[in-house]
Amino acid sequence: MRVALKLAYIGTEFHGSQIQPNVETIEGELFKALRNLGIIESPKSANYTCAGRTDAGVHALEQVVAFDTDKPGLAIPRIINSELPPAIWAWAHAEVPRSFDARRDAVSRHYRYVMAGKEYDISRIREASKLLLGTHDFENFSRTNGEKSTIRTIERINVRVDGDLTKIDVVGNSFLWNMVRKIVTALSMIGKGVRDNDWLLQMLNPDIYEEGIEPAPAYGLTLLKVNYDEKMGWIEDNYSIRRASNLNQKHILRHRVMAEVLEELNSHE
C-alpha cells in the first residue's frame, strides 16, 4: 500500500528538509523513525517522494511525503510521532495510488514569509508584487542548484500588515532554491525606497541584467500548503494535532518571555 503523510516541523535546529550526511535534517529524522518502526526498509525501496525541499531553518505546516509500505496500520501519525523529535510531527495520512508522486503531482505550493518592522511602504510592496505574477525567468532570485530551467509561474502574492509584522503569502507552481526569500528581499528593498519597480522589471530579465541579492533570513519562512488536483482523502489525527499545539504553546510562551527579557537587557534607563 502507498501512504502519504502531512508533516509539520519547526526548522530552526535542522539543516533543511533533505537528508544530508553528518547533519540533522527533517528527512534524516523521518527515515530513522520509519525504519525503527519497521514501516520501510529504506527510502529507495519504499519509492519515497517529498513535495519539495525546504532550506536550513525554514519551517513547514503541510509538507507532504509518500512511501510504499506493507505495514499501513503502523503508518499513522500518532505511531510515527512516537519516534520523532518534538520539533517534527505528522498530523494527517491518506492512502494514495501506487503512482502518486508527492513532488510531481503537486500543482502549487503556498509559502508565507513573516517579517518584523513598520518601516515598509506597504502600498509600494503590493504594487511591486503585481509585477512578479505570471511566468518569468527567476534566475536572479535563486541560487543555482543544477535546475535545467529557472522559469517559474507565480499565481498569487498577498501582502498584509498584522500589528508589528508584515506577512507575505506567495503561491506558485514550484520554486527555485532561495526563490521566495529573495523575492521577499526584493520587495522589502522596494518597500524601504531603496529600489523601484523599474529595477524589479530588470531583475526579471536575467538575459540582459544580472544581480545577486541576499535571501531574507530563513526563520521567517513557512511552507503552509501543497495543493493537488485530486482529492486525497486525508484523515487528520486530532490527538497528534492537540499534542503538537500544546507543545508549541509552551514554545510561544517561552519566546514571549525571552523577548521581554531581551528588551530589558537592551534598556539603558
Tell me whether residue 164 is one of the annotated catalytic residues. no
Check if the beta carbon of residue 43 is closer than 8 Å to that of residue 31.
yes
- Was 111 annotated as part of a binding site? yes
Contacts of 23 (CB under 8 A, 6+ apart): 15
Catalytic residue among 55, 68, 105, 137: 55
Give the relative orientation of helices 122-132 and 179-191 as an angle to the nearest 10 degrees.
140
| 117 phi and psi angles, rounded to 5 deg | 115, 155
CB 27 within 8 A of CB 50: yes
CB atoms within 10 A of CB 16: 20
- The helix (H) or strand (E) run that includes residue 59 is strand 59-68
| Cβ neighbours, 10 Å, residue 181 | 24
**Which sign, positive or negative, has the C-alpha torsion 129, 154, 150, 19?**
positive
The residue behind cell 526563490 is 179
Which of these, 60, 61, 59, 80, lies nearest to 3 by C-alpha position?
A: 80
Residues that constitute the known binding site: 111
Q: Which residues are annotated as a binding site for substrate?
A: 111
Positions marked catalytic:
55
